[in-house]
Amino acid sequence: MIVKENFDIKNLTTYKIGGIVKTVYFPETQAEFIELIREHKDAIVLGSCSNILFSSNGYDGEVIVTTELKQFEIRGLHVYSSCGVKGPMLAQKTAEAGLSGFEFMIGFPGSIGGDICMNAGAHGQCISDNLVQCCLFDKEAGEVVYKTKEEMDFSYRHSLLKDGRYILVHAEFQLKKGTHEDIQALIDRNLEFRKNIQPSLANPNAGSVFKNPENDSAGRLLDKAGVKSFDLPRARVWENHANFIVNKGDATSEDILTLMVMMYNAVKNQYTIELKPEIIFIGNKTEKEEELWNIMCH
Q: What is each CA distance from 241 to 4, 44, 58, 123, in whole angstroms?
A: 37, 31, 29, 16
Q: How far is Cα 90 from Cα 75, in angstroms, rounded to an integer?
A: 14
Other CB atoms within 10 Å distance of the CB of residue 288: 11
- CB-based contacts of 215: which residues, under 8 Å, 6+ apart? none
Q: 28, 68, 274, 278: which one is catalytic?
A: 278
Q: 208, 236, 253, 254: which one is catalytic?
A: 208
73 is catalytic: no
189 is catalytic: no
100 is catalytic: no
Q: How far is Cα 153 from Cα 103, in angstroms, rounded to an integer?
A: 23
Q: 157, 172, 236, 254: which one is catalytic?
A: 157
- Helix axis angle for 287-296 and 253-271, nearest 10°, is 30
Length, in residues, of the chain: 298
Type of residue found at 10: K
Spatial CA neighbour of 286 closest among 6, 57, 7: 57
Q: How far is Cα 133 from Cα 14, in angstroms, rounded to an integer?
A: 29
Q: How many helices (H) and strands (E) does the chain have?
A: 7, 17
How far apart, in Å, do the first and last CA atoms of the chain sit? 39
Name the β-bridge partners of 21.
Answer: 7, 59
Catalytic residue set: 157, 208, 278
